Amino acid sequence: MDSENHQLHVMFLPYIAPGHMVPMVDMARLFAANGVRVTIITTTMNALRFQNAIDRDSRLGREIFLDILRFPALEAGLPEGCENLISTPTPEMSMKLFPALKLLRPEIENLFRERSPDCIVSDNLFPWTAKVSWELGIPRLAFTGSGFINDCISHSLELHHPHENVESEMESFIVPGLPDEIKLTRSQLPDIVKKKTGFSAMFEELKEAERNSFGVLFNSFYELEPAYSDYFREVIGRKAWHLGPLSLYYRDIEDKAERGDKSCVSKHSCLSWLDSRKPNSVLYICFGSLTRFSKAQIIEIAAAITESGHSFIWVVGKILKMMNDNDQQDESWLPEGFENEVRRNDRGLIIKGWAPQVLILEHQAIGGFLTHCGWNSILEGVSACVPMVTWPLFADQFYNEKLVTQVLKFGVPVGNDVWKIWATEESRSPVISREKIRRAICAAMDEDGEDGVEMRKRANHLGELARKAVEEGGSSYNDIKALIQDIRLYKWNNNIGLQSYDTKFVTHGPV
């Protein structure tokens, strides 16, 4: 067909949070590596987070460009330069990002109309792009920052309401109709699942936009969650492509070191310290870019690490600024004297800020990963063949934990059972004791016990499957090729007037 020789142009609109932006930029680069002309719409400060990677791709002859918009921070009541959730230390500041994004919408819509792309890849948190794509007569692909299992659990809960049949928040129940026996408690469910909230209308809009899209893109691979990939397509009835693990496509050490942002620690000093450790002897601890713990909880984490006896790398975030008795803002990183003790014993490495996580996890010295169960971290841990200690806190993290601990069984939970609405919210979070944390760490790091050996065996197997998925002929490799061909076929069918090609919104428009 004539469109075979036409270079596709695909525009990407990532959301302004690290867990969404990092994989979506990776995905845009993957499209460019497969011969597609790519444009990423972003803002000034967010562009700085991945500009170097885009420049490297351009030097390789790939057609990948940025449309950079000024972020209306001051108009929304935010400090200049505050353009990402990682820059907002409180829920109140975070909420101001929403009106700022609303102010940007007309400019973004104008860019879509001016550039006239062949496809829009939009974060699912921008549901209005479904209407724009319909008006332009082009496909919209929704990007979800989670795995298939998250959507499958959400669908079952919405359909069957099993959480309404338990008598207490801590009583467990089985999520019905899924391929595996997955147990949850009401306390682990998002508020929006249990009752109507201020976000209910927005989430209905997101689901409607997804239904009216050409399909959904996942940073996952078929072999990681095959039954849930099939469930999503066959039971929920959505068209989908799995393109991950996206971090495995980029072999350059600079790509790994700068993935998502510029690291605040030298990659050479970090790797040099790891080189001095025995294989599988170091615990890597990171709770993502948004999570902040109370001082009481950080004290327990520090004590558990010390008592476990294992070497570690701990990526820590600042505790929220509070007013002290002298009306000055005070911030604390770690328990007093802890850093000096760690430095004196040379048992650990503390990183304050953004870390080169992919490089660290891939090092042979890493033997376990204490994680918040963000989807990107799970994919990166799987790719590195690392057993996990799971500590979910908010968003989709409790559902993700069940894949690790109940389905694939290569992780140990610390035992947090309370979902909270925001990464920085402290009011709901019970303090997990040092003993619980220590036991989970030792179980995951155990190379001699039967359970530890079995977990490491499973982690190694999953890592091997992940690598095969992105290699030529692998499941994700084939899916990106198929996806590009599907976009071409859509364009060709539209050109000859067959507007009903395998999607709902082309014929009927968004509801």
Q: Which residues are catalytic?
A: 20, 123
- The alpha carbon dihedral of 439, 305, 420, 263 has a sign of negative
Strands 215-218 and 311-316: unpaired
What distance, in Å, lies between the first and last C-alpha atoms of the chain?
33
3-class secondary structure, 46: helix
Long-range contact set of residues 92-96: C-beta below 8 Å, sequence gap at least 24: 94/422
DSSP state of 167: S
Cβ–Cβ < 8 Å for 266, 342:
no
Peptide bond into 245 cis (omega under 30): yes
Residue 41: which H helix or E strand, with range? strand 37-43
Residue 50 token pair = 């991945």
Which residue in the block uniquely carries the two structure tokens 């669908």?
155
C-alpha distances in angstroms, 446 versus 162, 228, 384?
Answer: 36, 30, 17
Cβ–Cβ < 8 Å for 355, 1:
no
Strands 366-371 and 388-390: parallel
Residue 442: which H helix or E strand, with range? helix 434-445
Residue 334: which H helix or E strand, with range? none
Residue 459 token pair = 């982690």
What residues does 211 pair with on adjacent strands?
none
Task: Let me know the angle formed at the C-alpha of 223 by 219 and 226, rounded to the nearest 5 degrees.
Answer: 90
Cβ–Cβ < 8 Å for 61, 93:
no
Which amino acid, one-letter code, is at 41? I
